[in-house]
Every structure is written in structure tokens, then in C-alpha cells.
Chains A and B, each alone.
Chain A
Amino acid sequence: MKQETNNEMDLLLRRLGRRDDALVPEDHLDADELSAYAENVLPAAARARYTMHLAECSRCRSLVAQLSSSAGVVAATDSAAVPEPSGFRKFLASLFTPMVLRYAAPALGLIVVAAIGFVVLRRNQPGEYVARNTASDTQQQPVASPAASSSGVVYSLSNPTPSPGQFDDQRKDKNQPAQPPPPPNMAPAVTSVDAEVAKEKTKDQPKPEERTTTAANEPPPVKSEPTPTPEQSPRAAETEAAKNEVKVQPAPASQEGRALRGAQREDKTSLARAKKPADAASAPASGAGAFQVDGVDDAKVNIRTVAGRRFRKQGSVWVDTAYDSSKDAVTLARGSEQYRALVADEPSIKTIADQLEGEIIVVWKGHTYRIR
């Protein structure tokens, strides 16, 4: 409606303009006034006075119009009437310019898709471990116990001796009732980083009721025996090691756990049969701690038991005796992110990896890992 009324007025004014027969005033603006008006540099009062003249004088009006055009005077003084958009609005407006919409928007879309793909791919790999660990935690919780409390007596000399504090961390982490308290002079072979990771692991422990159920199947916790000191005789150390092994042996719930237990018994037998005084001499340095590296070398040193798992050396590879070649193995490199994620959940695997140099195939909680 308003547009229509304005159109009507527009037509009427155009007709009026064609019939303009107004008298031209005698006096006109001089060149200085014309140019000053056209350049919009006059004081307000003087400008208003000249505006009144221009409204009536077509001659001066045409001159001012001509001068304004040639002077290129444009609206500098009218910034209030036509407010400049703010910086933010300018920025927003620039985002929707044709050029941006034509080129930058598709490019941005590609970047977003690539970023999402990258994130999804990155998440998938750790997700595998988490899923497996979570599933196995409830089923095979006891498996860690024999690993932690098995009675290895042979240790690698290169294995560093952790501090008791670290052991405490690990104990909290494993939360195994059968774990004997660590002897002050025999600490697990874990690093401080592992201890930190183990703290985190406590958050992922099974719920209390699950743990209770598991504990019901396990033998009651056994108080750990005094740790033999280095001053004790080799024979006494050997005896103590054998005792510890018997006492802390839990009852694994899984088949793998049973297999492991059988392997440990085999180790014990071989220990009783083939233990040498030299081997026994190293026992005090290891003891039967939950996270101690339990290694037993056979006569040819081709079989070792570490963290409750028995490994056979095949070529340059330490292969878990429970390894089933028909199962797929997850290959990990030491130090890789996947490896760190795994050992964060399963510190015992780190113990194994630290103890056994070279490539290792370890079966852990139903999964097979090839660690290089």
C-alpha cells in the first residue's frame, strides 16, 4: 500500500517537475560558494542559507550538481544516517560473500569431513582394547592374580627393582585379595609411569559385587611370608619361593587361568627338579610379589615364565605356550600409543614385555598380542 502511494506521488511529482516554470532568482551563488557547497565544507548556517537558494534556483542547482559530480563528493558526512556496519557484522557479511560461498565453503566442508574421519579412525583403535579389556575384566579377573602372585624365582639382571611405593600403587591397582604384601627388598618391575597408570586403572576395576563374586571362587587371601633376605641360604630361598607359590596361587575362573595354573605347576616341578644353587641365589632379589617378574629358565633357557605366563622361544620370538596360531594376533610396537594404552590397562603385559627382549606373542585374557 505504501509503495503504491509512493508510486502515485512519484508520478505526480514527475509531472510537476516537467511543468516547473518557477522564476529564476536574479542573484546567484558565486564560484566560491558553489564549490564550497559542492564540497560540503560550508558551516551549517551558511549551507542552510544556500540550500534555500538552490531549492529555488535551477541555474545554481545545475552548477552544484555538476560540481558535486566532478568533485566526487560522496556522503562522507552522512555516516550517521548510513551507519557503517560493525567489525563483527562486517566479518559476518564477509562470510557470505559470493566468493566465499563459492570457494571457501566447499573447502571448509572438505576439511570438516577429513577432520571427522581422522577423529573416528583415531578412536577406533583404542576402542578395541577398551572393549576387550572391559569384557575380559568381568570374566577373567583372576587371571591377573596368578600373573601377579605366581612364584617365579629367576629374574633378569637387567630388570630394575622398583620401589616399595610403586608396589603399593600396583597393589591398589590389581586389588587382588591373594596378593601378599610386598617385601621391602623385593619390588615389582614396574616403572613410576606404570604406577601412575595403575592409579588410573583402579577406576576401571570391576564393581564391588562382581569382585565379591570373583573372590568367592578364589581361595582366601594368604598372608605373605616373610621375604627371604639375601643373607638366607639358597636352599632356604628356594623353599620359601616354593611356599609362596603354593600359598598365593589363586583359582582362576577361566579356562585360560586353569591352563596357566597348570603351567605354573609345571614350573614348580621343574623348579624343584632343576633349580641350581646359582638360581636360588637370585631368588632373594625377586621373591613372590604380585608384580614381580616371575621367570623360570629351563635348562636350555628356551622357556621362561614371566608374570604367570610361560613363554617358549621360537627363533627370536618368545611365544606364549597358550598361544593358538589359529587366532588372530594384534600386533603392537613397544612404545606405540596402542601399546601404552594396553599396558595402562594391563601392567603385567608391560612386565612381560620388559622382561622378554625381542618379539613376544602373549595370550592375555583371551586375546593374543604380538609385541615387537
Chain B
Amino acid sequence: MNTGVEKLFEEGAGRMLARANDNRSLSREAMVPRISAAVEKYLLKDDPDIPHAEISKFIDELQADDLCLIIACERGDENAWNDLVERFTATVRSAARSASKNEDAAEDLAQSIWAELYGLRTRKDGMPASKLAYYSGRGSLAGWLRAVVAQLAVDVFRKQSRLVQTEEDTDLERLARVAEGQPIVAGIPTPEESISNRFAQTDMQQALNQSVQELPAEDRLLVKLYYFDNLRLREAGAVLGVHEATASRRLTRIQTDLRKRVTKILVDERGWTQAETERSFAEVAQHLDTDLESLLATKGTK
């Protein structure tokens, strides 16, 4: 890293300490490594030759008070730690509650978070291995804490799932061994499975898969959020940082775009005619619609 950029970091650290309401008596030297890491992660990785003005602007947009608090905590400032716990206990508890099945699990998760933040383990350099080291100051400290809680909750859930899955797999394997050599009595496929199987074999599904993969990343993300993750438009829009109405308009445009792409693939690569493509769209959609309705009706009667 050239000296010009390092100078930017020092100057930026000075400005940050000046604009913080409580800089925790930190020095520039304490701030520079954190600022440097953030700039490297979010700016220089994408554009090593980014203008200095952009770097200065980025530094000036960092959360000065939150970053000072975290760095002070990391450096063993007890007052800072008390402030952190006092200010964000409710945030951590709330995030843990929303990520947990019950109150006990939420309390356990919250305690785990504080342990992770405090750093009960030790790094190679002898410092506590705290998650605090990963806060860049780009987003709010509260948001970062919620993300830490959510990540930890996912990890805990996956560990538990993996354990349950292993047991289930064992059971399935046992059942498979029992059934070995016996005629397979295939279950009667539901209408959904039936149409699904047929649909899975079609050129159209492959073309649709291909078309989705070729979408721009942001459009693909929206499709995944809405169709794969079953988020509502408002939630999907929130992830993308756009209004619900904008997300809706984008989705409509993407649908039109995907139809064109699928048609092009089928016509150009699979030798379909335009009329066949149109008829296939209508038939598949009709089958799916009927299938879904009957499936919902069946579920509703159970």
C-alpha cells in the first residue's frame, strides 16, 4: 500500500476521532488498522486504483462512535465494554428471540453471543479471539450485532439439523437394506409430482434454468428471493434496497425478459417453432395451475 493511501488513513482516523461524540481516548494508531481493513475489503478489492477522494469519502462515512466503542472494547476498556452491554443487550436479546424457537433457546443464544464478542478464546498473538475484530464500522453496530446473532443461530441450527439428519439417514439406510431384493412398490405419485416429473424432463425447464442463470446478478437475486425463498415483495425489495413497487416492476420486467430468453433458447438451440413455444408455455402453465389447485384442495381437506 502506497504512502499516499496510508496518509489518507491517518488523516481519516484523525477526522473520525474528531467527529466522534466519545472517542474513548483512542489514538490515530489504534484506528488506522481498522480503517485500512475496511477500505481494503470494500474499496480496494474491487478497484485498487480508486481515487483518493473516494477513499476519504468512504472513511468519513464510517460509524465513528460505534467503531470507537468496539475498538475500545477490543483493547480491554472496561467502561467501553459496560457501555456496549448496556446499550445493546436489548438488541442482542431481540435478535436472539427472533432467531430461536423459544425463550430458553433465545437466552442461550444471547449468552453465546456475548461470549463470542468478549472473546473467551485466545488468538495466536495472545489477544482474545473476539468477533469484535470483524466490525468495520460501515454499517451500524446494532445491525452488525443482529447479523452476528443470526449467523450464530444458523450455525447452531445446522449443527442440530446435521445431527438429526444423520440419525434419519441411518434409519433410511436400515430400511433400504430391509427392502433390498424386494419389488419396489412405488408410491402413487401425487398430481404435483406427476406433472413435476414430466416438466422436469422438458426442454422448457432446462431453458428456464439456463435463462435464470444468465440474468444479471441483481435480477437473479430478486428471482431467488421471491420464487425460491418465498419472500414477499416488500421483503425482497428491502434486501435489494428498493421499494416494494419497484421490486414488483422489476419482477414483471424479469418475467418478460425470461420468456424471451426461454423462447430464444428453444427456437435457436432446440429447433422449436415460435408457435410450439407459445403453445407449450400455455399448456405447461395450465397443467401447473390445475395441479397446484388440486394439490391445495387436497391439502385443505386433510
Does chain A bind chain B?
yes
User: CA separation between A39 and B255, bound complex, in Å?
Assistant: 27
Interface pick from A7-15, A194-202, A318-326: A7-15
B206-251: which residues lie under 8 A (CB-CB) from chain A? 208-209, 212, 217-218, 220-221, 223-225, 227-231, 235-239, 241-246, 249
**A16-B227, A63-B150, A82-B245 are contacts. A10–B255 as well, Cβ < 8 Å?**
yes
Q: Which of A12, A19, A39 lies in contact with B140, CB distance below 8 A?
A: A39
Asked whether any CB of chain A lies closer than 8 Å to the CB of B196, the reply is yes
Choose from A32, A61, A67, A81 the contact partner of B225 (Cβ within 8 Å).
Answer: A61
> B242 near A77 (CB under 8 angstroms)?
yes
B258:A31 contact, CB within 8 angstroms: no
* A residues near B245, Cβ cutoff 8 Å: 82
A239-277 CB mask vs B (1 if < 8 Å, else 0) is 000000000000000000000000000000000000000
Asked whether B24 is an interface residue with its Cβ less than 8 Å from the other chain, the reply is no
A12 to chain B: which residues have CB within 8 Å? 204-205, 208, 281, 284-285, 288
CA–CA, A8 and B284, complex, Å: 8
Give Cα distance in the complex from A54 to B139, angstroms.
Answer: 18
A45 within 8 A of B: yes
Our pick among B135, B223, B239, B256 for the contact of A64 (Cβ within 8 Å) is B239
A31 and B131 form a contact (CB under 8 A): yes
A107 sits at the interface (CB 8 A): no
Given the complex, which residues of A lie within 8 Å of B231, measured CB to CB? Answer: 65
Interface size class of A (residues with CB under 8 A): 35 or more
Total number of B residues with any Cβ neighbor in A under 8 Å = 71
- Among the 9-residue stretches B13-21, B43-51, B177-185, the one with 4 or more Cβ atoms under 8 Å from chain A is B43-51
Assembled-state Cα–Cα distance A12/B286 (Å): 10
Min C-beta distance of A87 to chain B, whole Å = 20
User: Would you call B212 and A16 a contact (CB within 8 A)?
Assistant: yes
Q: Do B138 and A36 touch across chains, with their CB atoms under 8 A apart?
A: yes
Q: Does B136 interact with chain A (Cβ within 8 Å)?
A: yes
Partner of A41, one of B139, B208, B239: B139
Q: Is the CB of B230 within 8 A of A17?
A: yes
**Chain B contacts of A10 at CB under 8 A?**
255
Evaluate contact between B42 and A65: CB separation under 8 angstroms.
no
Residues in B with CB closer than 8 Å to A78 are 241-243, 246
**A residues in contact with B244, CB < 8 Å:** 75
Please tell me if B147 contacts chain A, counting CB pairs below 8 Å: yes
Shortest beta-carbon distance from A313 to chain B in Å: 87
Contact of A68 among B47, B217, B239, B256 (CB under 8 A): B239
In the assembled complex, the CB of B215 is this many whole angstroms from the nearest CB of chain A, namely 8
Complexed CA–CA distance, A49 and B199 (Å): 33
Q: A62-B229, A69-B235 are in contact. List 17 more A-B contacts (CB 8 A).
A: A9-B259, A11-B288, A12-B284, A12-B288, A36-B42, A39-B139, A40-B241, A46-B45, A55-B220, A59-B154, A63-B151, A65-B235, A67-B143, A67-B146, A67-B147, A68-B235, A71-B143
